[in-house]
Amino acid sequence: MKPEDFKTKQEQLWAGEHTKAYIQRSDSPQLRASKAAVFAEILAHTRGVKSAIEFGANIGLNLLAIRHFLPEAKLSALEINETAVEALRKIEGLDVYPGSLLEFTPRQTWDMAFTMGVLIHVNPERLRDAYDLLYKASHRYVCIIEYYNPSPVMIMHRGKEDQMFKRDFAGELLQAHPDLNLLEYGFVYRGDPVFPLDDVTWFLFEKPQAGLAQVR
C-alpha cells in the first residue's frame, strides 16, 4: 500500500520515507545490547512463551532480542513500511505481515503480543483499536514498552506536530480490558551506564486463558 492509502496521518508518515531515515539511525551494537537487556528482564516474568508477535516491528531488532532468549519460539511481525518489511523478510523463520495495526485482523493468537515505541505514534482517536488488537492477539501475555506520562500530551517529533504522544497507555489498556492482570513493570533510563534506552516504561500483563487457536 502507498502511504496515502492509509487513513491517519500518523500511518501515512510511518508508511513513507520517514521510516527509511529512522531505520538508518536505529541500529547499533549498543542499541541491540540495550534491547536484549530489557527483554531479558521482561521475559523473566513470563512462563512458557512459545510464540510472540510484535506490532510495528520495524527491522526486527526487538524480535531478534527475544529470539536470543527463546530460540525455539515462533515469532511474527506486523509492519507498515515496505522498506522495513523487506528487512524483516530476510530474518529466517519470521512470519511477516505487511500493513497497519489499525487494519490487522488476527486469525490466531500468540503467547505474547507486544509493542515498543509504537502506541506513541498511533492517532489518539484510534488507540482503543490498538488496545483491542493487543488483547485479541494475545493468548496469555500483553506487553507495551512506551513513553509514559500521567496525562495525555503531544510532543514534537523531528519538527512535526501530532506525530508523537505520551500518556498512560497501561492505565488505558486496563480500562479497556479490566480482566488483564498487571504482572510487572519497569523503567529504562537513557542515562543508564550500561544498557541505556530512551526513557521507556514497560508493562507486562497477563490475560485469562481464552480466545482463538494458539500458534504452534
The grid coordinates of residue 197 equal 534506552
Residue scoring higher pLDDT (13 or 143):
143
Going by C-alpha positions, the residue among 202, 215, 216 that lies closest to residue 45 is 202
The pTM score is 0.93
User: What distances in angstroms separate CA 13 from CA 116, 121, 184, 203, one per listed residue?
Assistant: 17, 10, 32, 27
173, 146 Cβ separation under 8 angstroms? no
Provide mean pLDDT across the span 62-89: 97
The grid coordinates of residue 60 equal 526486527
Question: Average pLDDT of the chain?
Answer: 93
Task: Give the pLDDT confidence score for residue 63 in this predicted structure.
Answer: 98
Provide mean pLDDT across the span 84-92: 97
Task: Give the pLDDT confidence score for residue 155 in this predicted structure.
Answer: 92
Residue by residue, what is the 3-state secondary structure of the chain?
A: CCHHHCCCHHHHHHHCHHHHHHHHHCCCHHHHHHHHHHHHHHHCCCCCCCEEEEECCCCCHHHHHHHHHCCCCEEEEEECCHHHHHHHCCCCCCEEEECCCCCCCCCCEEEEEEEECCHHHCCHHHHHHHHHHHHHHEEEEEEEEECECCCCEECCECCECCCCEEECHHHHHHHHCCCCEEEEEEEECCCCCCCCCCCEEEEEEECCCCCCCECC
Q: Could you give the percent of the chain with pLDDT greater than 70?
A: 96
The grid coordinates of residue 51 equal 510464540
pLDDT at 214 over 70: no
Task: Give the pLDDT confidence score for residue 210 in this predicted structure.
Answer: 47
120, 164 Cβ separation under 8 angstroms? yes
Task: Give the pLDDT confidence score for residue 213 in this predicted structure.
Answer: 42
pLDDT tens for 1-11 read: 677 778 899 99
Beta bridge partners of 52: 75, 112
- Close Cβ partners of 45 (under 8 Å, ≥ 6 residues apart): 183, 184, 204
Pairing assessment for the beta strands 165-166 and 153-154 based on DSSP bridges: antiparallel
Number of residues in the chain: 216
